[in-house]
């Protein structure tokens, strides 16, 4: 009975998602006054519904029923939008030697075009809320509304806007001249838990991205650049310029932050340097040799975590998702693509 309910919820969201059309939404901050350029409107309400649909299935911990259902749904959602979808299925080894299934989901817009841009996010949930202030929750899975579901939701709304653009629109022209790959990386959040005494190595994170970078879906795959979306829906989020992004792909950082200013969301993307993050963009840069940046929040004054108060806690849920943050990130990315 529970399985049936999830499928009904998922299908209902998909119908709403497909029926949505662009509409103007109010800017989140009155002091973001730079006029918006004439590009399509990102619909944050669609992203909110997609996040909820993922969370309604439960934590998407690799190997669980919720993970299987959500993976199947992501494939169906991209396919329903007219994109070609393929999967990479493998097993990855965790910090303690355990092997778990890994499922990278790759959706292609205009797959015949060799000139490509890569957008990516991870879709799995961390199995342990090891940063929760209550020690009793440290072995509980994270719902991952922000840390996982938000990035997938933003990519799906962008895919909808691109692939349903009217024939007389600028996005239709863009879609015809440029290819976009949307990659949902799996097993990003299996890094060594804080409560484990084993040595912690950075390569215990981003396992799905590590596999894809070493085994791309197309031999010799290349893209102009990549943009990783991680935790892009949190309350009070600001996206500082991550250090490894600056090191590997400064020109892409400049492009994205300039686009945020153009569409009036500069306060969400301050031109300030953040910290260095081990994330999916690292193997994309180092192994796949694609200049890729990480759009990830930085909370310099948060005692709980510089990633924000809900990071790897049981409170990473829908109650702490902000549609204004989703709007800022989504509209910025639409402007980035529009500028191409």
Q: What is the pLDDT of residues 60-74, one digit of tens each?
A: 999 999 999 999 999
pLDDT for the residue numbered 174: 66
Structure tokens at 289: 């040799």
- Report, as an integer, the average pLDDT of 232-249: 98
Q: Is the pLDDT of residue 27 over 70?
A: no
Per-residue confidence band for 14, with pLDDT thresholds at 50, 70 and 90: low
pLDDT for the residue numbered 331: 97
Q: What is the pLDDT of residues 320-333, one digit of tens each?
A: 999 999 999 999 99
Per-residue confidence band for 48, with pLDDT thresholds at 50, 70 and 90: very high
- Report, as an integer, the average pLDDT of 272-283: 97
Are 229 and 154 a contacting pair, CB within 8 Å? Answer: yes
CATH of the domain at 81: 3.40.630.10
Q: Which residue carries 């299925």 as its tokens?
A: 89
**Contacts of residue 102, Cβ cutoff 8 Å, sequence gap at least 6:** 62, 88, 89, 90, 91, 92, 186, 187, 207, 208, 211
Are 54 and 70 a contacting pair, CB within 8 Å? Answer: yes
Question: Domain span at residue 84?
Answer: 2-339
Are 340 and 178 a contacting pair, CB within 8 Å? Answer: yes
Domain count, the chain: 1
What does pTM read for this prediction?
A: 0.90
Q: Is the pLDDT of residue 17 over 50?
A: yes
In the chain, % of residues over pLDDT 90: 79
Q: Which residue carries 């653009």 as its tokens?
A: 165
- Report, as an integer, the average pLDDT of 80-96: 96
Please give, one letter per residue, the 3-state secondary structure of the chain. CHHHHHHHHHHHHHHHHHHCCCCCCCCCCCCCCCCCCCCCCCCHHHHHHHHHHHHCCCCCCCCCHHHHHHHHHHHHHHHHCCCEEEEEEEEEECCCCCEEEEEEEEEEECCCCCCEEEEEEECCCCCCCCCCCCHHHCCCCCCCHHHHHHHHHHHHHHHHHHHCCCCCCHHHHHHHHCEEEEEEECCCCCCCCCCCCCCCCHHHCCHHHHHHHHCCCCCCCCCCCEEEECCCCECCCCCCECHHHHHHHHHHHHHHHHHHHHCCCHHHCCCCECCCCCCCHHHHHHCCCCCEEEECCCCCCCCCCCCCCCCCCCCCCHHHECHHHHHHHHHHHHHHHHHC
In the chain, % of residues over pLDDT 70: 84
């Amino acid at each position: 009975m529970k399985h049936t309910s999830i499928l009904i919820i998922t299908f209902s969201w998909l119908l709403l998602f497909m029926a949505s059309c662009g509409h103007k939404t109010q800017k989140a901050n009155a002091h973001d006054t730079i006029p918006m350029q004439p590009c399509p409107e990102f619909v944050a309400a669609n992203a909110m519904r997609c996040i909820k649909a993922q969370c309604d299935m439960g934590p998407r911990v690799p190997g669980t029923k919720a993970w299987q259902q959500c993976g199947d749904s992501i494939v169906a959602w991209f396919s329903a939008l007219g994109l070609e979808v393929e999967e990479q299925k493998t097993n990855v080894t965790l910090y303690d030697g355990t092997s778990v299934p890994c499922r990278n989901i790759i959706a292609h817009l205009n797959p015949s075009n060799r000139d490509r841009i890569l957008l990516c996010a991870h879709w799995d949930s961390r199995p342990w809320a090891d940063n929760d202030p209550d020690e009793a929750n440290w072995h509980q899975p994270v719902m991952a509304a922000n840390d996982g579901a938000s990035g997938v939701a933003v990519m799906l709304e962008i895919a909808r806007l691109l692939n349903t653009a009217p024939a007389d629109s600028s996005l239709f022209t863009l879609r015809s001249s440029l290819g976009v790959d949307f990659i949902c990386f799996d097993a990003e959040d299996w890094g060594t838990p804080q409560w484990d005494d084993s040595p912690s190595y950075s390569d215990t994170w981003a396992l799905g991205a590590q596999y894809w970078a070493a085994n791309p879906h197309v031999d010799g795959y290349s893209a102009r650049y990549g943009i990783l979306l991680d935790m892009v829906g949190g309350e009070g989020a600001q996206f500082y310029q991550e250090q490894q992004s600056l090191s590997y792909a400064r020109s892409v950082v400049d492009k994205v932050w300039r686009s945020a200013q153009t569409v009036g969301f500069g306060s969400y993307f301050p031109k300030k340097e953040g910290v260095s993050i081990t994330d999916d963009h690292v193997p994309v840069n180092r192994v796949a040799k694609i200049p890729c940046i990480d759009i990830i929040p930085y909370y310099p004054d948060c005692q709980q975590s510089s990633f924000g108060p809900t990071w790897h806690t049981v409170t990473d849920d829908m109650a702490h998702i902000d549609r204004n943050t989703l709007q800022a990130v989504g509209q910025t990315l639409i402007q980035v693509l529009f500028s191409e």
